Chain A
Amino acid sequence: MQFQEEQDYTKRFDLTLWKRLLKYARPFYGFLAALCVCMVINAVVDVVFPMMTRYAIDNFIAKETVAGLGGFIALYLLLLLVQVLVIFGFQRCASKVEVGVCYTIRKLAFEKLQQLSFSFYDKTSVGYLMARMTSDTQRLADTIGWTLIDLVWGSVYMVLTAVAMLYYNWKLALLVLSVLPVLAVVSAYFQSVILKNHREVRKTNSRITGAFNEGIMGAKTTKTLVREDRNFEEFQVLTNTMRNSSVRAATFSSIYMPIVTSLGSIVTGLALWKGGYDTLSGAISLGTLVIFINYTVSFIEPVRSIANIFSEMQSAQAAAERVVSLVETEPDIVDGPEITAVYGDQFSPKTENWPKIHGDVDFEHVSFQYKGGEKVLSDFTLHVKAGQNIALVGETGSGKSTIVNLICRFYEPTEGSILIDGVDYRQRSQLWLQSHLGYVLQSPHLFSGTVRENIRYGRLDATDEEVERAAEMVRADHFISKLEKGYDTDVGEGGNRLSTGEKQLISFARAILANPAIFVLDEATSSIDTETEQAIQYAISKMLSGRTSFIVAHRLSTIKNADRILVISQGRVIEDGTHKQLLEKRGHYYTLYTNQFKEEGELSALGKSLEA
């Protein structure tokens, strides 16, 4: 759920933005054209129907004859059929455009999201992106199709009605048309006020949702603090605001139509008055009078639909700006054209040109800072031989995770370079490195689907046997075989039907199946039961053997087993060596180790394992 309050409208109409948007609708120009044709026909028929009544009055009723009635009926039927076909047609065209544009924009945006760098994800929440990809895109696509309908129908209908009236009687027509500007101004004013009111209501509504969320999530705390009454008072302020602004919005909306119809009725009254005398004098027929009265009533609708376009566009424009800016964001880390020429890009790699990785990793005078942040690493140099297991320890914020992110090329050094097998990794494609990398996260992330599908994510062409062998290697097969459907068990959204430890094991199996040259492991700090803990320790040691690995380590056993321990503080390596060497120093590592030993010991005595 998302409670971000965002501006959902913009003041100025931005034509270039809409032009850029139309680009995305290009595959649907055909439908848009058909749509316009349908709307023109629709408007024409709408104008013709009252003419039929006029004709009937003047030619059958006034002359008291049925001659030609058969033809009249046939024509009426024909018009009816045309109208129905056209209605069906424009609905279909508009839907095709709507779903098509939605799909196209989503596809483009999704591809962009796969390319954007982590610096983008650092400052953009998932909720924000979800809203761009779902509701904003939807609103945009709606607007393109349906606004066009309103626009074409409204203007054609208005013009044709005006022409028809002018044709029948120009004096009377001018009288009727004189009210049009007033109607337009009133409509435009009300539409914008109504829109503003609705915005207000929506905003309050999202605050109420937030308050419910807080009330429910915090219910236990509220109880212990005996804060029910105060919370309720605060909540009532919100619901009162909501009630008042909703009533205000509804009041405004319900004033609008009466005012417009009353204005319209003045014209009808005038038409009746002046037109009535004209019929007596024979200047116009009775049928013409009736048609004028009909037109004055039906004139309101197109004015309203055109006034509506402006308020619609106004709110859709904000959505458009956000969507377009997402689709047009450029990633920070890009493979140059000469590199993609050789190694391919994210979507079509040229694996045949990819060099094999051995696993030497070198940091040469690397400096790094996050955008707008402080320097996290400065002049950092580190040489790691292929096959070495490196444990990184240190406090939160010391720069451990940054080092790991740089190795994965989720970020690139701001100064200096990182060499893989002696070559700056910027000389190769991102996919090349990342395909040779095993990366296991602190909080394991699984995708919905079966256990098997999740493990296979590591290597898409792996056979079932290979998948199962990978699971066996990390001893995940024990718990998998106990699941209801074994490997075909659905893990639920984000894997939430499994425990954290189980998810962890599956993510290990997934990584091992990928058979990477370099392993990066961000060790979990969450609590798991002792048995799973042992299984995980086993799995880790299995995964790491013979591979270059970097572990952001939290558990003593993992740290102790590493070939090399680096104690990181403020972006520098302050101690470097094996467990034994570092203990002998009796420095930072010594203190860290003894504290950790006690903490883990106390917890394991109570049957828990490490807890953050």
Chain B
Amino acid sequence: MLLVRSLMKGNTGYYVGAILSTLGMVVINYITPLLLSLVLDSVLGETEPNGPGFMIAWYQWMGGRQALLNNLWICGLWLVLLNVGGGLFQFLNGRLSAVASENIARTLRNRLYNHLSRLEFNYHVKAETGDLIQRCTSDVETVRRFLSTQLVQIVRAVAMMVIALCILLPLNRPLTLVAMAMVPLIFLFSMLFFRLVIKRFRESDEAEGVMSATLQENLTGMRVVRAFGRQRFETEKFDQRSSDFRRKTDHFLKLLAWYWSASDFMCMAQTGLVLIVGIFLCIRGEISLGTLVVFTQYESMLLWPVRQMGRILADMGKSMVSLDRLDEILLQKPESDAPDSVEPPIDGDIVFRNVSFAYNDDNPVLQNLSLTIPRGKTVAILGATGSGKSTLVHLLQRLYEYRSGSITIGGVELNRIKKRWLREHVGIVLQEPFLYSKDIRENIRIVNPDLPEEAVFEAAHIACIHEGILEFERGYDTIVGERGVTLSGGQKQRVAIARTLLKDNDVLIFDDSLSAVDTQTDASIRAALKHSTKNLTTIIISHRITTLSEADLIFVLEDGHIVQSGTHEELSRQEGLYKRVCSIQNALETELGQTLA
């Protein structure tokens, strides 16, 4: 509810306007039958004018019966004026509530998007994307619909009831009671019945889900279906699901048919009741013909909103659930910096001292890890899966926070550096990079769209993808990602490298990202990099001995701490993982020797 209040901010005016125009519309719509009744009774007929004071005042102001009778067109004109006035209010109501609810929907969407992008890295590692997208789209839609139409409709229905009572009661008390006799019943009936309808609808919806899933599996598994010749089996399976969906939808629609015919019955019975009792009263002279017309017309205006209200109230639970689901996202804590954070130059040695880290308490990933990465050097990290090498480099962009030990860059403690600043100066190419649905040019200069094309080409050159891009039919204009061309893992990785190069990096990290390209490309990318950059500190995670051996310094990581460090020459003489990896070359030669002997 706090959420609703904060969303309403700035739109209260529109809502008040919308509600006022609804009231205006209701009042004016109610006047039309009164006018008709007056004309029937006291202009065309000769009864004394009867009805609310303002109508009688109007009658007198117009000059009474004779004047109106001589100029009957005036009555017609007023009828038109009333309708135009009512229409104006109706339009205002539609427009104002649209403005209010669309503004709110926009705020909600913006807030969700912005908030999600500022949540912690870890949130996104664990997030279920399908569910999140569902919330951001269909839940927002449910809330929007509630705010744009349903809320105003409830107000309208209530207003219509109250105003109708105010006008009808003075006209004739017993007939008013008759006119309202079945209204609560109709309301309750629609509310309760609609609950049931919603339940049936859910069943049909689920059956549709099952059917779609079967279809999707069939389509994605078409090769399997064909290879086993299971066309008939699949058709029978689908037929079964499709029949089930058909049956359940039919059930739902049947209930709906019951609902409509039963509530139509009640509404028509109510109208008939008023008509018949009204005829009696008319004949006994208790009400005029005009009054009867007012009653029947009011009845027909009133019943529809009452029915709708029952339906909306039954449906309202959904909007509340949606609001809660959105609130859940917005209540997640976003990333933040400590108040005394600084923006130092990122250009010294990187020093890890006794760093320990765990994603959850009982499972340490890094334990007492210490190492120094000298400024401007290229260091390589070798380690088995789960040894903590990815975690180590993620810490350098503060994607995760270390809690014990210390990491410094140029002597400044890492968690005192502003995240934004740090990330701008430390480039990382993730293992599974994401490309945006833009063309390749925009993807490469994603961090700075103002960069000239030459810079883009140069980065693409270094990442060994320039030629590849030119081979595409539309070259750099090729759209990639969700809506465009699907690139291979290696191509994606190279585009990701190119775009990271265009950042203002002082430190550049390859998180096993060169593995997706073949050995030769790996080598040429590294060579080109060496050529083009000055004092860049480079950290490469790799399993390729050629890559590792060319680094200035190599660290071997095992179970969350450094077990070996040194140059290629040093490490290849020590017993350990590095030497084991190195010895594969020898193993190959032995193997070849044996086979070819």
Contact = CB atoms under 8 A, between A and B. Distances in A.
A269 B76 contact: yes
A126 B216 CA distance: 7
Contacts of A410: 223, 226
Interface stretch (B123-131, B352-360, B407-415, B527-535): B123-131
A49 B503 CA distance: 76
Interface string A84-124: 11011001100110111011001100110111001001000
Given A273-B72, A448-B217, A601-B587, A218 B436 contact: yes
B298 to A, nearest CB: 14
Interface stretch (B80-88, B154-162, B304-312, B560-568): B80-88
B250 to A, nearest CB: 5
A215 interface: yes
B437 interface: yes
Interface of A: 1, 3-4, 52-53, 56-57, 60-61, 64-66, 69, 72-73, 76-77, 80, 83-85, 87-88, 91-92, 95-96, 98-100, 102-103, 106-107, 110-111, 113-115, 118, 121, 126, 129-130, 133-134, 208-228, 230-232, 235-236, 239-240, 242-243, 246-247, 250-251, 253-255, 257-259, 261-262, 264-266, 268-273, 276-277, 279-280, 286, 289-290, 293, 346-349, 396, 408, 410, 430-431, 434-435, 437-439, 441, 445, 447-448, 457-458, 460, 493-494, 507, 510, 514, 520, 579-580, 583-584, 594-595, 597-599, 601-603, 605-608, 611-612
A598 B133 contact: no
Contacts of A242: 102, 105-106, 109
A96, A219, A265 — which one has the most chain B CB atoms within 10 A of its CB?
A219
Interface of B: 36, 39-40, 43-45, 69, 72-73, 75-77, 79-80, 82-84, 86-88, 90-91, 93-95, 98-99, 102-103, 105-106, 109-110, 112-114, 116-119, 121, 124-125, 127, 129, 132-133, 136-137, 148, 208, 212-235, 238-239, 242-243, 246, 249-250, 253-254, 256-258, 260-262, 264-265, 268-269, 272, 275-276, 279-280, 282-283, 289, 292-293, 296, 382-385, 397, 399, 420, 423-424, 427-428, 430, 433-434, 436-437, 446-447, 449, 481-483, 488-489, 496, 499-500, 503, 515-516, 519, 543-545, 577, 580-581, 584-585, 587-588, 591-592, 595-596
Nearest to A219: B124
A273 B76 contact: yes
A209 B133 contact: yes
A51 to B, nearest CB: 13
Given A224-B430, A272-B76, A255 B228 contact: no
Given A61-B292, A431-B231, A603-B543, 5 more contacts: A66-B280, A212-B132, A242-B109, A583-B596, A605-B543
Contacts of B253: 91-92, 95, 98-99
Sorted nearest first, the 10 A-B pairs with minimum C-beta distance are A254-B94, A258-B87, A439-B227, A269-B76, A250-B98, A265-B83, A601-B584, A91-B257, A95-B253, A273-B76
B227 A437 contact: yes
Contact of A227 (B132, B133, B382, B447): B447
Nearest to B421: A226
Given A88-B261, A254-B94, A494 B220 contact: yes
Given A61-B289, A114-B225, A268-B79, A608 B385 contact: yes
B56 to A, nearest CB: 19
Given A76-B276, A216-B124, A280-B44, A126 B223 contact: no
Contacts of A211: 113
Nearest to A245: B102
B114 A434 contact: no
A435 B94 contact: no
A447 B224 CA distance: 10
Contacts of A280: 44, 69
Contact of A262 (B83, B116, B481): B83
Contacts of A434: 226-229
A52 B272 CA distance: 10
Contacts of A96: 250
A235 B115 CA distance: 13
B76 A270 contact: yes
B483 A226 contact: no
19 contacts: A83-B264, A84-B261, A87-B264, A88-B260, A95-B250, A130-B215, A213-B482, A215-B113, A219-B116, A226-B420, A251-B95, A258-B86, A269-B77, A272-B39, A439-B223, A494-B217, A594-B592, A598-B545, A612-B489
A583 B595 CA distance: 8
A110 B256 CA distance: 29
Contacts of A448: 213-214, 217
A349 B69 CA distance: 87
Contacts of B226: 408, 410, 430, 434
Contact of B217 (A76, A258, A447): A447
A258 B91 contact: yes
Contact of A220 (B109, B125, B136, B216): B125
A392 B88 CA distance: 76
A224 B397 contact: yes
B246 A102 contact: yes
A226 B447 contact: yes
Contacts of A91: 253, 256-257, 260-261
B106 A239 contact: yes
Nearest to B247: A99
- A214, A235, A272 pick with most chain B CB within 10 angstroms: A272
Contacts of A277: 72
A164 to B, nearest CB: 18
Contact of A269 (B44, B80, B235): B80
Contacts of B249: 95, 98-99
Nearest to B581: A605
Contacts of A129: 219
Contact of B75 (A272, A347, A438, A439): A272
Most B CB contacts (10 A, CB to CB) among A126, A213, A225 go to A225
Contact of A223 (B110, B233, B423, B592): B423
A548 to B, nearest CB: 15
Contacts of A270: 76
A240 B109 CA distance: 10
B6 to A, nearest CB: 17
A114 B229 CA distance: 10
B80 A214 contact: no
A606 B588 contact: no
Nearest to B132: A216
A57 B275 CA distance: 10
Nearest to A270: B76
A149 to B, nearest CB: 12
Nearest to B285: A64
Contacts of B254: 92, 95
Contacts of B430: 220-221, 224
B492 to A, nearest CB: 11
Contact of A408 (B40, B86, B227): B227
Contacts of B591: 597
B98 A286 contact: no
A606 B136 CA distance: 41
Indicate the member of B88, B118, B257 with the most A CB atoms within 10 Å.
B257
Contacts of B112: 212
